[in-house]
Homo-oligomer: A and B are copies of this chain.
Amino acid sequence: LKGIPEYRLARKSHRPEGSVICIGDTEIGGKELLMIAGPCAVETEEQLFAIAQKVSDLGIKFLRGGAYKPRTSPYKFQGLQEPGLKLLSNVSKEFNLNIVTEVMDISLLDVVYPHTDIIQIGARNMKNYHLLRALGETDKPILLKRGMDATIEEWLLAAEYILLGGNEQVILCERGIRTFDNSNRNTLDLAGVALVKQLTHLPVIVDPSQATGNRNLIEATSLASIAVGGDGLMIEVHNNPEDALSDGPQSMYLKQFERMLPSLQNMATASNRIIDLKTAIQPVQVQEIH
C-alpha cells in the first residue's frame, strides 16, 4: 500500500478505538467473537431445521444459509430462492437465530431484506459498485467478503463505497484468494487479516470453509484465525454433507463441529476473547469421523 490510501472512512485513524456492530446482545468487533454456522445453501425444510436445531443447541446465535447461490455453472443448483428465504425466517423464529444470507443483486435487496439480520455480499460481488452503493443506504449490517482477486486496498475501498452511503455497519470477511496453488480450494490470507486489522477499524472475520474447501482443515485454520486477531468465524456445517447440493467436501459434520467448539473456546480465552455459547459445551468424546 504505497502512498496515502484512498479510503478515508474505513481507515483505522477514522475510529482508532475500533467499530463495534451490535446485533441483539452480540457486539461484533468487541471482545466476543462472532460465530456463524450453517449450510452453504438452504436445500429443504428438513435439512435447514436439522442444522438450525443443532446450531441453536450449541449456543451459536447466527445461522448462515444461501437462498440465492452464485454458481459457476448455470446447470448447478441455484438455490431455493424465495421459498428458501421463508425457511430462513421460519427457523429464525423457531430457534431465535440471527440470519446471515447473501444478496446477489440490487434487484434482490428488497426481497432478501426482511429475512436476514446480516446481508452477506459474496466474493464475486465485492467489486459490484452499484450494489455496494445500494448497501450504503440500508440500515442492516453488511458482511463484505473479500474478492478472490482483490488486494487489501481494493477490499477496503469496497467497504468505503458502503460507508460513504451512510451505513457504518460493515464486517469484513476473508475467505481465501486465488493463487497458483490449488492444493487448497483458495489460499487463506491470514497475514492479510493481521494487516487489514491494522489498517481499518472495521471488524474482520474469517471463512475457513470457502478458503480451504476441506472440512478436515477447518479446526486448525479456525484456531489460527482467532490467534491472528480475527473477530469471528463463518463455518459451513451440514447434517448430511455427502448429499449436500453444494460445497459438501468443505461442510463439517454436525458432530465434528460440536467436537471442535471447546478448542475454539480455549483459543479464544488464550487470545483474550470470548466465544459466548450461552450453554456450556461438553467436550465430546473423540471418535474418528473420517
Do the beta carbons of B130 and A104 come within 8 Å of each other?
Answer: yes
The B-contacting residues of A in range 107-137, CB under 8 angstroms, are 107-108, 124-125, 127-131, 133
Specify the chain B residue showing the minimal Cβ separation from A163: B74
Query: A91 on the interface (CB 8 Å rule)?
Result: no
Residues of B within 8 A of A180 (CB): 149, 151, 177-180, 182
Within 8 A of B (CB), among A194-229: 194-195, 197-198, 208, 211-212, 214, 216-217, 220-221, 223-229
Q: How far is the CA of A195 from the CA of B208 in the complex (A)?
A: 13
A129 vs B176: C-alpha distance in the bound complex, in angstroms?
21
What is the distance, in angstroms, from A238's C-beta to the closest C-beta of chain B?
A: 20
* Complex CA–CA separation, A169 to B199 (angstroms): 41
Cβ of A267 within 8 Å of any chain B Cβ, yes or no, is yes
Collect the chain B residues with CB atoms within 8 Å of residue A105's CB.
Answer: 105-106, 128, 130-131
A271 and B108 alpha carbons, distance in the complex (Å):
44
Residue of B nearest to A161 (CB): B74
> Are the C-beta atoms of B198 and A192 separated by less than 8 Å?
no
Closest to A189 in B: B187
CB distance from A200 to the nearest CB of B (A): 12
B148 touches A149 (CB 8 A): yes
Check: A285 CB closer than 8 A to any chain B CB.
no
CB distance from A228 to the nearest CB of B (A): 4
> In the complex, are the beta carbons of B179 and A195 less than 8 A apart?
no
Assembled-state Cα–Cα distance A1/B181 (Å): 10
A220 touches B192 (CB 8 A): no
A-B contacts, 22 listed (Cβ < 8 Å): A72-B154, A74-B129, A105-B128, A107-B107, A108-B130, A128-B128, A151-B182, A153-B183, A176-B191, A177-B181, A180-B180, A187-B187, A188-B190, A195-B212, A197-B220, A198-B216, A220-B228, A220-B229, A224-B224, A227-B228, A227-B267, A270-B270
